[in-house]
């Protein structure tokens, strides 16, 4: 079983390996990235346990590599050179996130400090299109984005593509994305054909996992949170975060909550995966809109606000199904927090009571540790932002590889 390693915390003992400099670069960068306020070179020496001379050399390399930048010198009361604080650079290296989803394509550019420089969404139904055509369109889009970054003096250091399905991330393969109709698609090969992507690391990951990572990044604060992130789109996926790390499962294919059964009524239409009673056939976007008799999530919100019976009934059914599926996961995982993402946050007012009733009735530990439900704080773009953040996270963890 594989979990994503938590980022290394700065330690008092500097590394003593042959790759000493590379590891110390990472150590210093980590200290800058995790500091609650900007640190000077002297602060960094104290935090990392490295000498001031070593820290100064490493800081110069990181400034040159555009990982960190210097703020205006701080005035001090004592004599000598004023201290200069260091922060992650907002105008140097950037990560690019892409998303191929069922009814839209998206791209985001995020800098090392976590600021979003660019966010593009192209709304169009991707079902029935050849995977290669979708990926070529994404390749064109990311090519234009990298050109724009070049013009703005930003250096793209990698691309991660989010897809709603099972992926072999390092190989860049999408094994299956049922709602897109993709099977064994070599996404990295098609995307990599864009000349602007030559030499850039390219990864593919599951959209709910990336959404959960974006939520984890935003959460901050308490260090090692555990939560079940449920992303509602045409399909429904989950990202499982345990003690601050994404739990990916044995092959990276965990979190397919959309295909957890919530009923076994064979008279109802079966799921795109071929099975009967899957969560997403009740709580996925298409199922929800069809049951409510509306065309869009906005129309569903209007109908629910106007207390239209079909809309309220559809949302109640979705809430019950989400509660049943989430209760199963909570019983298995010993997690108390459920975070709703994708289309669900603006609908949570109508989903909450049914989800909470099912959680309360079905989670064995509910009496002692009541399940908590909340809307995600990142919004509908969580997966594509998480994709861009995953590139940034990798650059921050191994700066020497990007110099």
List residues binding Zn ion (CB under 5 A): 259, 271, 273, 275, 278
- Measured CA to CA, the distance from residue 235 to residue 177 in angstroms comes to 9
Nearer to Zn ion, 17 or 267 (CB): 267
Which pair of structure tokens corresponds to residue 172?
Answer: 């860049």
Q: What are phi and psi of 218, to 5 degrees?
A: -70, -35
- The SS3 call for residue 142 is helix
- Measured CA to CA, the distance from residue 66 to residue 89 in angstroms comes to 6
Nearer to Zn ion, 236 or 315 (CB): 236
Q: β-pairing, 68-70 with 337-342? A: unpaired
Closest CA to 234 of 293, 272, 282, 284: 284
Closest CA to 36 of 212, 219, 220: 220
- Measured CA to CA, the distance from residue 383 to residue 206 in angstroms comes to 8
The CA-CA-CA angle for residues 384, 143, 212, to 5°, reads 10
Q: How far is the CB of 163 from Zn ion (least distance, A)?
A: 16
Q: What is the DSSP string of 335-350?
A: --EEEEEET-GGGHHH
Matching residue, tokens 């999530």: 297
- The DSSP call for residue 152 is T
Nearer to Zn ion, 156 or 278 (CB): 278
- Measured CA to CA, the distance from residue 363 to residue 192 in angstroms comes to 45
Q: How many CB atoms lie within 10 A of CB 82?
A: 11
- The DSSP call for residue 192 is T
Nearer to Zn ion, 172 or 178 (CB): 178
Q: How far is the CB of 278 from Zn ion (least distance, A)?
A: 3
- Measured CA to CA, the distance from residue 377 to residue 52 in angstroms comes to 40
**How far is Cα of residue 362 from the mean position of the Cα atoms in its chain?**
29
Q: How far is the CB of 265 from Zn ion (least distance, A)?
A: 14
- The SS3 call for residue 99 is strand
Nearer to Zn ion, 66 or 259 (CB): 259
Yes or no: say if 294 and 300 are a contact pair by the CB < 8 Å rule. Answer: yes
Q: How far is the CB of 259 from Zn ion (least distance, A)?
A: 4
- Measured CA to CA, the distance from residue 358 to residue 320 in angstroms comes to 6
Instruction: Find the length of the chain.
Output: 403
Nearer to Zn ion, 47 or 231 (CB): 231
Yes or no: say if 315 and 304 are a contact pair by the CB < 8 Å rule. Answer: yes
């Amino acid at each position: 079983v594989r979990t994503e390693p938590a980022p290394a915390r700065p330690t008092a003992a500097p590394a003593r390996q042959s790759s000493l400099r590379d590891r110390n670069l990472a150590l210093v960068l980590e200290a800058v990235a995790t500091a609650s306020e900007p640190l000077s070179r002297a602060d960094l020496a104290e935090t990392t346990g490295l000498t001031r001379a070593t820290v100064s050399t490493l800081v110069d390399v990181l400034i040159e590599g555009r990982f960190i930048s210097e703020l205006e010198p701080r005035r001090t009361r004592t004599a000598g050179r004023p201290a200069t604080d260091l922060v992650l650079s907002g105008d140097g290296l950037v990560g690019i996130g892409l998303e191929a989803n069922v009814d839209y394509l998206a791209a985001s550019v995020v800098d090392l400090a976590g600021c979003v420089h660019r966010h593009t969404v192209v709304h169009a139904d991707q079902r029935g299109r050849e995977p290669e055509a979708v990926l070529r369109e994404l390749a064109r889009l990311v090519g234009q984005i990298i050109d724009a970054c070049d013009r703005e003096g930003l250096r793209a250091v990698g691309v991660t593509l989010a897809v709603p399905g099972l992926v072999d991330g390092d190989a860049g393969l999408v094994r299956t994305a049922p709602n897109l109709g993709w099977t064994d698609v070599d996404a990295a090969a098609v995307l990599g054909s864009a000349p602007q992507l030559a030499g850039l690391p390219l990864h593919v990951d599951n959209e709910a996992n990336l959404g959960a990572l974006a939520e984890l990044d935003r959460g901050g604060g308490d260090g090692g949170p555990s939560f079940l992130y449920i992303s509602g789109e045409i399909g429904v996926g989950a990202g499982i975060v345990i003690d601050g790390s994404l739990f990916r499962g044995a092959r990276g294919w965990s979190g397919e909550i959309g295909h957890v059964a919530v009923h076994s009524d064979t008279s109802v239409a079966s799921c795109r995966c071929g099975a009967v009673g899957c969560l997403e056939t009740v709580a996925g976007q298409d199922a929800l809109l069809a049951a409510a008799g509306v065309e869009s999530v906005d129309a569903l919100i209007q109908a629910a606000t106007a207390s239209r019976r079909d809309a309220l009934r559809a949302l109640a059914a979705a809430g019950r199904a989400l509660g049943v599926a989430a209760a199963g996961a909570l019983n298995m995982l010993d997690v108390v927090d459920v975070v709703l993402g994708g289309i669900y946050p603006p609908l949570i007012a109508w989903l909450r009571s049914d989800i909470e009733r099912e959680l309360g009735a079905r989670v064995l530990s509910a009496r002692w540790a009541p399940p908590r439900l909340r809307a995600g704080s990142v919004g509908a773009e969580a997966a594509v932002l998480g994709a861009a953040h995953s590139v940034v996270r990798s650059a921050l963890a191994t700066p020497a590889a990007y110099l």
